[in-house]
Amino acid sequence: MRYKRWAGPAVLLLLCATAQAADDVWMTDFDAARKRAEELQRPMLIHFGADWCGPCRQMERNVLHTARVKEQISSSVVAVVVNVDKQPKLAARFGVTSLPTDLFIEPDGKRLMQSTGYRPASEYASSVARASTRYHDLLASRRPEEPKTPIAAVPQNDEEAPKAKVTSESRTEPVLDGFCPVALLKQRRWIKGSPQFTTEHRGQIYHLSSDEALESFDEDPERFAPRFLGCDPIIVWQTDRAVPGSTRFGAFYDDELYLFVSDENRKTFKENPDRYIRTRVVLDVDQIESVIR
């Protein structure tokens, strides 16, 4: 398989990442790392690299073994380094096509976060801490809640993004307020879809404007669906909350659609979009909060 390199020239020298991975925080045996993660109830960090990858060598030299990164890893995750040339099946299993790639997963394999390209030590350590927090928040959310005595609801004074758990009823509402995602991408026009042409993707309902549009969407839904399940990437990046964006504040970047809760967030995104999308947070539809606009 051919891999993309994110930055820096290729070098034809042997990468010492695998050799140095005997580091006390970096394991080289994936199965052993997964077993340890299960025992410690921690997420896994998988760092994919290769001997010929210049940015991988830079991360090996300047990031992976720094005191700050090692300290964060030792306290919160189980880390394993994977050389894609020596373990191609493992790279293929996780769909790795760009190097370096850092993937955070739960011990059972569910994805938490993914990022590609070189990142400085401070940013890398922060992403490790964030993945750990996200994992333990997910574990807490899965525990059955104790019955509580109902109390009177108190209105929230947070007009932009009030927090509330989504209900099964609200999930039946179409994404994009019922507008056709195919028309939006191909024509850059807000055309209302029809319940006659309905499909589902990742637990969300979409209305398309025609049978042809429906067929196009079903052939490649990821091409047309908004990123982050339609949630505001600024809020996801800042708080790990999944708050739906609005069709009033949309933007395309590299032909991918992003929705925001406000024009301010949209402008913030446009200033440095890669900052907010380089680390892909894996969201589930059950994590999306309902918002009353």
Indicate the range of 60-74, 76-90, 120-134 predicted with least confidence: 120-134
Measured CA to CA, the distance from residue 201 to residue 192 in angstroms comes to 18
Residue 246 has pLDDT above 90, yes or no: yes
> Domain check: are 195 and 266 in the same one?
yes
Alpha carbon of 72 to those of 16, 75, 121, 131, 280: distances in Å? 22, 5, 11, 11, 20
> Domain check: are 200 and 246 in the same one?
yes
In this prediction, residue 65 carries a pLDDT of: 95
> Which member of 16, 53, 180, 231 is catalytic?
53
**Residue 291's pLDDT band (cuts 50, 70, 90):** low
> Domain check: are 65 and 185 in the same one?
no
In this prediction, residue 277 carries a pLDDT of: 79
Q: Name which residue leads in pLDDT, 57 or 291.
A: 57
**Considering the domain boundaries, does residue 157 fall inside one?**
no
The set of long-range contacts for 191-200, using a CB threshold of 8 Å and a minimum separation of 24, is 198/174
Q: What's the CATH number where 121 sits?
A: 3.40.30.10
In this prediction, residue 283 carries a pLDDT of: 66
> Domain check: are 14 and 135 in the same one?
yes
> Domain check: are 120 and 210 in the same one?
no
Measured CA to CA, the distance from residue 192 to residue 211 in angstroms comes to 13
Residue 227: domain span: 170-287
In this prediction, residue 285 carries a pLDDT of: 64
> Domain check: are 15 and 131 in the same one?
yes
Q: Name which residue leads in pLDDT, 240 or 44.
A: 44
**Considering the domain boundaries, does residue 148 fall inside one?**
no
DSSP-derived secondary structure for 178-229: GB-HHHHHHH----B-EEEEEEEETTEEEEESSHHHHHHHHH-HHHHSPGGG
In this prediction, residue 153 carries a pLDDT of: 36
Q: Two tokens at 289?
A: 């909060």
- In the chain, what are the helix, strand and coil shares in percent, each to the nearest 5? 40, 25, 40
In this prediction, residue 50 carries a pLDDT of: 95
> Domain check: are 18 and 131 in the same one?
yes
> Domain check: are 136 and 192 in the same one?
no
> Which member of 16, 56, 180, 231 is catalytic?
56
Q: What confidence tens digit (pLDDT) does each residue in 96-152 have? A: 999 999 999 999 999 999 998 999 999 999 899 989 988 988 888 777 765 544 434
Instruction: Please give the tally of structural domains in the chain.
Output: 2
Q: Two tokens at 139?
A: 């574990």
Residue 161 has pLDDT above 70, yes or no: no
**Residue 275's pLDDT band (cuts 50, 70, 90):** confident
Would residue 231 show up in a list of annotated catalytic residues for this protein?
A: no
CA angle 288, 238, 292 (to 5 degrees): 35
> Domain check: are 112 and 211 in the same one?
no
What pTM, to 2 d.p., does this model score? 0.60
Q: Name which residue leads in pLDDT, 262 or 169.
A: 262
In this prediction, residue 289 carries a pLDDT of: 64
Q: What confidence tens digit (pLDDT) does each residue in 201-243 have? A: 989 999 999 999 999 999 999 999 999 999 999 988 888 788 8
In this prediction, residue 164 carries a pLDDT of: 37
In this prediction, residue 43 carries a pLDDT of: 95
Q: In whole numbers, what is the pLDDT of the chain averaged over residues? A: 82
> Domain check: are 211 and 255 in the same one?
yes
> Domain check: are 105 and 223 in the same one?
no
> Domain check: are 88 and 24 in the same one?
yes
| Closest C-alpha to 54, from 95, 103, 19, 4 | 4
**Residue 154's pLDDT band (cuts 50, 70, 90):** very low
Would residue 16 show up in a list of annotated catalytic residues for this protein?
A: no
